[in-house]
Structure 1
Amino acid sequence: MCADTPDTSDLKYPVFLPETDFPMRGGLPQREPGWLARWAEIGIYDRLREKTGRTPFTLHDGPPYANGHLHIGHALNKILKDFIVRSQQMLGHDARYVPGWDCHGLPIEWKIEEQYRAKGLNKDDVDIVAFRQECRKFAEGWIDIQREEFKRLGITGNWADPYLTMDFHAEAVIAEEFMKFLMNGALYQGSKPVMWSPVEKTALAEAEVEYHDHTSHTIWVRFKVSKWGAQFTPVSDIAIVDFEPNAQTLLVEAERAKLANASVVIWTTTPWTIPQNRAVAFNPSITYTAVEVIKVAEGSTAKVGEVLVLATNLIQAVMTSAKVDEWRKVANLYDMDGTLLAHPYRGLAENGEWDYDVPMLPGDHVTDDAGTGFVHTAPSHGDDDYQLGLKFGLPMTYNVEADGSYRADLPLFGGQAIINADGKEGPANVSNIKALHGAGALLAKGKLKHSYPHSWRSKAPLIYRNTPQWFAAIDRKLDDGMSTYGETIRARALHSINQLVQFTPVSGRNRLYSMIEARPDWVLSRQRAWGVPLTCFTKVGAKPTDADFLLRDPQVNARIIAAFEKDGADVWYQPGFKEQVLDGIVNPADYTQVFDVLDVWFDSGSTHAFVLRDRPDGTADGLADLYLEGTDQHRGWFHSSMLQACGTKGRAPYRGVLTHGFTLDEKGMKMSKSLGNTVAPQEVIDQYGADILRLWVALSDYTVDLRIGKEILKGVADSYRRLRNTMRYILGNLDGFTEAERLDPAQMPELEQWVLHRLAELDTEVRKGYAAYDFQGVFQKLFTFCTVDLSSVYFDIRKDVLYCDAPDSIRRRAARTVLDILFHRLTAWLAPILVFTMEEVWLCRFPEEGSSIHLQDMPETPKDWLNEPLAAKWAQVRQVRRVVTAALEVQRTAKVIGASLEAAPVVHVEDAGVLAALKSVDFAQVCITSAIQVTGDPAPGEAFRLPEVPGVAVVFETAEGEKCARCWQILPDVGSHKHPQTCARCDEALG
């Protein structure tokens, strides 16, 4: 920073010292709430909307969930959004920001259920409308809390009128958007395995799933061969030449006899799915081998003489797991299509539950990387299994209930739980392992720790479960007349990603593209109570594949929308609602009302319709300029919004997507309450103020994960203090500045013209940086400019002029004019980041009622301020100044001098051009010495040099003369003027 203001207590003559009420210490935690109140009082956001003729810019808010205090990730997200909204506004746009909240869904419903359980109540015994009202009230309470917490961060927006997914109009539009899927043919009911939470008794979307380490049972299971369809080549350790002429034939027959009693071995980590087995998959490209067990270790369940069929590459691994010490290869197998196996539980159930053949089917998903090279296939409990079952017509099973238990009448295992209500493992896995052992089918068992899907809310493990669900088909041709970007949801989405959307960073494009390219159909239904219902009706007695299964009637849809607009989605659950909307159109008795609720991602994916399209502060085309969220939203909000809009608008609802990373502690660890390494936004605000939190965001690269902690925040606070001192210096030296003092740039000395050149450069860089959302780059450029170009150079040099020149001197007027120019640009450029501090700086000069930096635009900076030749010259001057400053520091350290004004060094410069540049400026003033001599003469050997600045050497000399009592320069003329002990400049300034 600039040198400290001198102690003037012993000055005989006055100088023009800085004067400002802007304090050195910010006191942000105490003072920021006052500015928030002031902004609310003068209506900043509404006043900005009154500016006409501006191009709109709309950042559409991804709705946070209304169920808890803000964490540091919320702060990062909202601060980044605020940087964009404020900077776009100050760049000349009408930057509108409508904050919103996601209100429906499992997390809130789960909280209310917890309250019921604590009171010994059962949710299912409560009227569903009453239950929904409690969920609504819970969300309302947290919205009010979070709104104040967001505002405390300095976030601008339409806080008085946010959007809520539970508003009646929002619920009506969500239903309307769903019914577009109903009408265009995307909606269908299917029975397929979905990610299911036994604890919460509902299907979950991929975005609601998180993966944690989990220890699973592993089992190797024999499936006895009932009928071979495979070809085989015998293998023998005995050479055929040792046999009689018919030995090879005998060998083949012997090996064939062994194969007749062989078992195909599968490996699985879900023993509970064995009762649902319907096939075993193999890969035709894998080599398989039948091996005979010769010798086993103690404790092995393998049997000497039995023949096991395995992938050739996995024999050793399986034999080790099964504790088989010796074995021999019997035959190599290929073309196993047509082979039939017996279910391991064949014959165990009196009702013949498992007395069916298990076919072997080819599947590309089978590998020989691990396991046995065969995949146990239960079409009701896995996507690969389901797809294989679909291809070959395998029957689906319905053995698992919503609570994760087997159906009560399932033989052997009826009623047993896979996952208990508390999220712990139930008895189903162990019971199956015991049953397999008892049936002689268990070859080996073990445990495996691996990444496993869990519910993001209950944290309990999930299962794949076959249930009737409602889906949006993403590859079905839609009947909606919107084929500009494709005829299917997937085609439209992929086209949008490739052609219509700009991604920041660009890596987000590939991430979203690959997810949508490979995703299955969208599971829209949830078996819950708190949400927007699937507003559709099915025909009694019709099958899902029948053309008239779903009621598709525009008049019915219109009635539903009107009812939701008036009374909200609760009316769907009122007795007689079905009759109300169907009466006079179809016979209500012919139709069944669907009571599943929509995936909450459909809610938030629909926000473009009831926010961007429908609100007065929305957009003309219903599209947002930007969606901004964390990287997890490539499978969340970015994803669901894309699919939803492609199904109802025909394209992505956004033109741009910006992605930020997650927040980590200082060591790069994920934050966790159990680890005690979390950083709460309110704690930072209480200690430092919100501007420090905002500055932390600006100093970070948000495109990767961001670290935060005590030491990092200390560093941020130090950067803030340095910047604050810069602004304080500007304010202090502008005290009393009037337009009469202002000078035209052409009248200014070169040093001021150089500062204007830097401002013109920065103006371009700042505007480009804000437009590209490069806040780190913007702040780094401004911070470097303030601390290096200004504080270390310009302020340091011009302090003498500002303090000691006469008020009407050209140099002082030029410096004060430049300080005024700096004030207006720095406050505007930094206002989107340091919202409170720059307001404080602004009000120190313009305290008028209703005044605010946030009502200003970034000032236009004349391009003719650019002066590259001057900049090149001053780059040379500054390089030589570095050598002089370093040489004087040696003398100061040695206590030869106390201040640079005691010196009058000789500077030897080899380069003629540099020498000429130095002679054309007041280089003594530039170096803050009382005198200086610049010469092209060769430098003596003992002269001071800096290796990085060749061709420059400095010989130290002390200044000659007396010390001016006012400016402290040591000059020969001091004492020869009217005012004793002054130099000519000070004598004139004193009058």
Structure 2
Amino acid sequence: MTDTPATEARDYRDTVFLPKTDFPMKAGLPQKEPAILAKWLEANLEGQIRAARQGREQFILHDGPPYANGDMHIGHALNHILKDMVVRTQTLKGKDAPYVPGWDCHGLPIEWKVEEQYRKKKLNKDEVPVEEFRAECRAYAQHWVDVQREQLKRLGIGGDWDHPYLTMDYEAEATIVRELMKFAESGQLYRGAKPVMWSPVEKTALAEAEIEYEDIVSTQIDVAFEIVESPIAEIREVMSKGNKVEAVIWTTTPWTIPVNQALAFGPDVDYCVAVFRPKVLAPFVAPNAPAPEMKIEDHYLLLATPLIDQFCARLERAWKYEGVIWEGKGSDLAGTIARHPMHHLGGFFARPRPFLAGDFVTTDSGTGLVHMSPDHGEDDFDLCKANGLDPVFAVEGDGKYRDDWGWLGGGDERRMSVINPKFNAPDGPICSDLKDAGALLAASADYKHSYPHSWRSKAKIIFRCTPQWFVPMDKIVDHDTPRCADEAQIRAAQGDGETLRQTAMRAIADTRFVPSKGRNRIGSMVEGRPDWVLSRQRAWGVPITLFVHRKTGQYLCDPAVNARIIAAVKESGVDAWSEARAQEYLGPDYDAADYERITDILDVWFDSGCTHAFVLESGKWPALVRRDGSTHSADLYLEGSDQHRGWFQSSLLESCGTRGRAPYKAVLTHGFTMDAKGMKMSKSLGNTISPIKVMETNGADIIRLWALSVDFTEDHRIGDEILKGVADQYRKLRNTFRYLLGALDGFTEEERVTDVAAMPELERYMLSLLADLDAKLARAVDDFDFNAYTRALADFCNEDLSAFYFDIRKDRLYCDVNVATGYQTPERAAYRSVLDTLFHALIRYAAPVLVFTAEEVWSTRYPDAGSVHLLEWPTLPSFERDKDLVIRNAELRELRGKVTEAIEPVRREKIVRSSLEAEVTMSDLEVILRNLDRAYLAEVFISGIVHLEAGHEGISIKPTTHHKCGRCWRHLPEVESDGALCNRCETVLDA
């Protein structure tokens, strides 16, 4: 070609390739995402995906129903993003992975909110017809279902949003009733009185999952129970002399003293009768006057020997410890009888209080003697019941003693709720009466401890014995006489002689848990849990649709009656369970006058525990029906770790009780989202992060990237600075796709290089790294390790591509082409072919994470090709892997880092203006060992000439003496003067 004089140096910019794309660097996600979402909805993308995957291997994630109450919070967002990631990655792997969202709609939280609205209007819920009240609860739940649905859709969660499941749907309510009847018909239901966690504010029993623990300060008291009978000679001798011997109990719930029925001791605990003498100051006596006579009575107190010092400390030095008159074991106390401090009230209080042996008694605190109130403690109930002492049901649903109770009952002006601190205070009615009776030995309002509260009302709960409906955990189900349609199925799965607890523990062992520690967590809970309390005393929920015979107390178990009830609920919902229709359900064989219609409702956890039956078995969602005829179990349940005691467990017990197995094959749990400092989020602290606001300012893809970047299996953090870091990571990923779009401008199939072996070494190395990434991501999908998935993808884009491959190959991309003729070198064609492979792989890998951005990228390159979310896992070019090549180039990258580090101070001192002006000298040993040529080294280093010298130590940098090519700007020996062309550029421009 014709040389151009240096004085008239040509501008070659029009001859090089300049990447071009309409894809902007500025994301503008808050504006773009709603438009993309609208396009998906208009095109029915969910329907397209279902049609494309029809007949494929199924993967079913069953959605745990969030509660239809309030806006989506950050926990909702994390949970649903993880579920969406599961569904999208399984879909990407070619499986049919439908997602049907659902909501929990019954229960106390909604009822409580509707009652709050009543209270603001000065209305009483009990004065409103129950059907009208339920209608308001239903409307309230539907409102929040609609609100949350739109918020979750905005988050990019894919699914059948037009057909969610709601536990308040009539068909769902009928299914819940049917599942209850299975327990009843198979003999796995009983009515009994046991202490349950009870909220006096909400007036209902609560489940463990509805409880949270808060630190409080309580009144602690030491109370004396006078012993009236004893098998111990030393005690009888003291009593024979007119002295009282008193057993000392310690409690932090003074309100339970009015229902005390016995005292418990530890059989192996050391006890003593200690002598205490009150400390009395001598009165003033005039000089030479005779000293007055003073009578000081000793107190003989029975308590555990190891706890004497603690007891003395609580006495506040009012008494002096004098020693003991008897020591022995707790077993020696068997047969001892005491009397209640308020025995003078007669009736219940005048009954003897026996000493009972209790294995649960310890010497950790207190006095080693525990007062027993079977109405208000599980240990108390079991021990007293075993000894013929039954609950008295003195405390009513509102937490007050009933009107006819002899102490602090309805006629007492001091009557108030037992959770009222004033009621239990040292100067409150309980302590005042005990003090007047001479039984209060010590009282102080300074005992700090953790105590259960209702997570809704935030009020303290109590343990209260009331008649409730239970599913027994340790009853062996007799399958000899089938009582329900599923009896044969239960028998085949459970086997005779197996309890529900045993069945559940076997199911836990057969289930995959991610992380694996979840198995031990739920296992320990199931292993030690009491019988399952099903009943609640509220209005908004599925009723316990049972008739109980008024004389025998047995519930009616007639499949025909049950079938009529189920059909009625399916037709008109829970309002169908009314007194007016009782005879209709009972039919001609029974008289409604002989039966009590149960008005309790089911625990909302039983509702959600039945969703597998409704959603996976009803056929209402055909995509969820197992085509291969296998069990109905979902492939995965995914919720927060708190659901080990909630939905995971209720679903497990419900399914094991009716089907003999778990409703899931695997369980994935995530931790809780804390603020940036690791503190629990709270509106009162002002440290909450609203996903809705984040979407409005940053976009949904930012939240998604955050959720899939943290180690969600543990508690994790979010905050403004954390989100800024996520946004920076997003920009790098977006820039990777922008580069690919620009670099692939005009790419055609005709230029594709299919023979990988013919490609340059760097291209083969990058395809090897891509194959490694592919395997790593596929493994992460199988392991549900989305933190590893997202980080591997980001690291590949940032480190392997942007900082390495793209940086090196920009020269070939720009200069190895004649834009006028279309000619390009084979090396550039190989590079662009690899870029296209990278694009198609990375866009698929990124689509489940950045759902909106991936769609924007895909539609920018292929505007008429449909949604990116219809694509499947990439098929990479097949080639024979060269392990030596991978090792060699990995080492070369390390060497590149050292060269870059050596050039930087020279460039900073302006000895060279760019790395292209730097000539590099290093030992030839570095290169010979790796079988690399100098030209390849200069390419990788993006430097001038590389000199190899035997024995050279370290890396030396000097300015080049060669002229710069006027087109590619490389300094090469063949360039005769600045502005002239190198051999490559001449060849390209001549082509």
TM over 0.5: yes
Paired with 1:61 and 1:758, the residues of 2 have a C-alpha distance of 36
Query: Which residue does 1:387 correspond to in 2?
Result: 382
Alignment partner of 1:803 out of 814, 835, 851 = 814
Residue 782 of structure 2 corresponds to residue 780 of structure 1: no
Q: Which amino acid is 2:399 matched to?
A: G
Q: Which amino acid is 2:556 matched to?
A: L
**Offset at 1:862?**
4.7
Write out aligned runs for 1:325-724 (5 A). 325-334=320-329, 335-349=332-346, 352-415=347-410, 424-425=420-421, 427=423, 430-447=428-445, 448-478=447-477, 479=479, 480-481=487-488, 482-483=490-491, 484-485=493-494, 487-498=498-509, 500-543=510-553, 549-573=554-578, 575-614=579-618, 615=620, 616-620=622-626, 621-724=631-734
Structure 1 window deviating more from structure 2 (70-79 vs 13-22): it is 13-22
Residue 209 of structure 2 corresponds to residue 194 of structure 1: no
**Offset at 1:321?**
0.7
Paired with 2:358 and 2:328, the residues of 1 have a C-alpha distance of 16
Q: Contact 2:400–2:418 at 8 Å: present in 1 too?
A: no
Paired with 2:721 and 2:365, the residues of 1 have a C-alpha distance of 46
**Offset at 1:561?**
1.0
Residue 866 of structure 2 corresponds to residue 842 of structure 1: no
Query: Which residue does 1:945 correspond to in 2?
Result: none
Paired with 1:32 and 1:90, the residues of 2 have a C-alpha distance of 21
Q: Which amino acid is 1:918 matched to?
A: L
Q: Alpha-carbon deviations, 1:315-370, whole Å to 9, x = none?
A: 01101211323321121033111110111111134xx3311110000011100010
**Offset at 1:642?**
0.8
Alignment partner of 2:917 out of 894, 902, 916 = 902
* Distance change >3 Å, CA 394–CA 422, structure 1 → 2: closer
> TM-score, normalised on structure 1?
0.92
**Offset at 1:860?**
2.3
Alignment partner of 1:85 out of 81, 84, 87 = 87
* Distance change >3 Å, CA 86–CA 423, structure 1 → 2: farther
Q: Which amino acid is 1:938 matched to?
A: G
Over the aligned positions, Cα root-mean-square deviation in angstroms equals 2.2
**Offset at 1:418?**
10
Q: Which amino acid is 2:898 matched to?
A: V
Paired with 1:600 and 1:691, the residues of 2 have a C-alpha distance of 34
Paired with 1:520 and 1:513, the residues of 2 have a C-alpha distance of 14
Q: Contact 2:171–2:570 at 8 Å: present in 1 too?
A: yes
Paired with 1:12 and 1:525, the residues of 2 have a C-alpha distance of 80
Query: Which residue does 2:758 correspond to in 1?
Result: 747
Q: Contact 2:190–2:469 at 8 Å: present in 1 too?
A: yes
Q: Contact 1:197–1:461 at 8 Å: present in 2 too?
A: yes
Residue 298 of structure 2 corresponds to residue 284 of structure 1: no
What SS does the corresponding residue of 1:699 show, helix, strand or coil? coil
**Offset at 1:259?**
10
What SS does the corresponding residue of 1:210 show, helix, strand or coil? strand
Residue 133 of structure 2 corresponds to residue 131 of structure 1: yes
What SS does the corresponding residue of 2:361 show, helix, strand or coil? coil
Q: Contact 2:544–2:599 at 8 Å: present in 1 too?
A: yes
Paired with 1:97 and 1:118, the residues of 2 have a C-alpha distance of 40
Q: Which amino acid is 1:619 matched to?
A: V
Q: Contact 2:87–2:97 at 8 Å: present in 1 too?
A: yes
Structure 1 window deviating more from structure 2 (331-340 vs 95-104): it is 331-340
Paired with 1:838 and 1:393, the residues of 2 have a C-alpha distance of 70
Q: Alpha-carbon deviations, 1:597-617, whole Å to 9, x = none?
A: 000000000000000111323
Query: Which residue does 2:834 correspond to in 1?
Result: 818
Query: Which residue does 1:220 correspond to in 2?
Result: 222
Query: Which residue does 2:291 correspond to in 1?
Result: none
**Offset at 1:881?**
1.7
Alignment partner of 1:315 out of 283, 304, 308 = 308
Q: Contact 1:293–1:303 at 8 Å: present in 2 too?
A: no
Paired with 2:298 and 2:753, the residues of 1 have a C-alpha distance of 104
* Distance change >3 Å, CA 303–CA 583, structure 1 → 2: farther
Paired with 2:563 and 2:221, the residues of 1 have a C-alpha distance of 55
Q: Contact 1:761–1:866 at 8 Å: present in 2 too?
A: no
**Offset at 1:853?**
1.1
Paired with 1:409 and 1:559, the residues of 2 have a C-alpha distance of 42
**Offset at 1:863?**
5.5
Q: Contact 1:225–1:260 at 8 Å: present in 2 too?
A: no
Q: Which amino acid is 1:168 matched to?
A: Y
Structure 1 window deviating more from structure 2 (404-413 vs 61-70): it is 404-413
Query: Which residue does 2:747 correspond to in 1?
Result: 737
Paired with 2:673 and 2:335, the residues of 1 have a C-alpha distance of 54
Q: Contact 2:418–2:424 at 8 Å: present in 1 too?
A: no
* Distance change >3 Å, CA 729–CA 422, structure 1 → 2: farther
Q: Which amino acid is 2:253 matched to?
A: T
Structure 1 window deviating more from structure 2 (421-430 vs 159-168): it is 421-430
Q: Alpha-carbon deviations, 1:193-216, whole Å to 9, x = none?
A: 111111111111111111112222
Q: Which amino acid is 1:427 matched to?
A: F
**Offset at 1:700?**
0.3
What SS does the corresponding residue of 1:781 show, helix, strand or coil? helix
> TM-score, normalised on structure 2?
0.92
Paired with 2:593 and 2:111, the residues of 1 have a C-alpha distance of 31
* Distance change >3 Å, CA 722–CA 185, structure 1 → 2: same
Paired with 1:24 and 1:708, the residues of 2 have a C-alpha distance of 25
Query: Which residue does 2:6 correspond to in 1?
Result: none
Query: Which residue does 2:4 correspond to in 1?
Result: none
* Distance change >3 Å, CA 303–CA 75, structure 1 → 2: farther
Between the aligned residues of both structures, percent identity stands at: 50
Question: Is there any run of 5+ residues in structure 1 with no aligned partner, and where?
Answer: 1-7, 233-251, 544-548, 941-952
Query: Which residue does 1:4 correspond to in 2?
Result: none
What SS does the corresponding residue of 1:962 show, helix, strand or coil? coil
Question: Is there any run of 5+ residues in structure 2 with no aligned partner, and where?
Answer: 1-8, 283-294, 480-486, 818-822
Q: Contact 1:20–1:735 at 8 Å: present in 2 too?
A: yes
* Distance change >3 Å, CA 925–CA 966, structure 1 → 2: same
Q: Displaced runs of 4+ in structure 1, greater than 6 A?
A: 416-423
**Offset at 1:425?**
3.8
Q: Which amino acid is 1:158 matched to?
A: D
What SS does the corresponding residue of 1:413 show, helix, strand or coil? coil
**Offset at 1:759?**
1.0
Paired with 2:824 and 2:190, the residues of 1 have a C-alpha distance of 83
Q: Which amino acid is 1:889 matched to?
A: E
Q: Contact 2:757–2:879 at 8 Å: present in 1 too?
A: no
**Offset at 1:277?**
0.7
Q: Contact 1:229–1:340 at 8 Å: present in 2 too?
A: no
Q: Which amino acid is 1:451 matched to?
A: S
Residue 884 of structure 2 corresponds to residue 874 of structure 1: no
* Distance change >3 Å, CA 827–CA 512, structure 1 → 2: same
Q: Alpha-carbon deviations, 1:509-563, whole Å to 9, x = none?
A: 00000000000001100110000000110002223xxxxx110000011111111
Q: Contact 2:452–2:460 at 8 Å: present in 1 too?
A: yes
Write out aligned runs for 1:908-923 (5 A). 908-911=923-926, 913-914=928-929, 916-919=930-933, 922-923=936-937
Aligned pairs, number: 937
Paired with 2:809 and 2:83, the residues of 1 have a C-alpha distance of 39
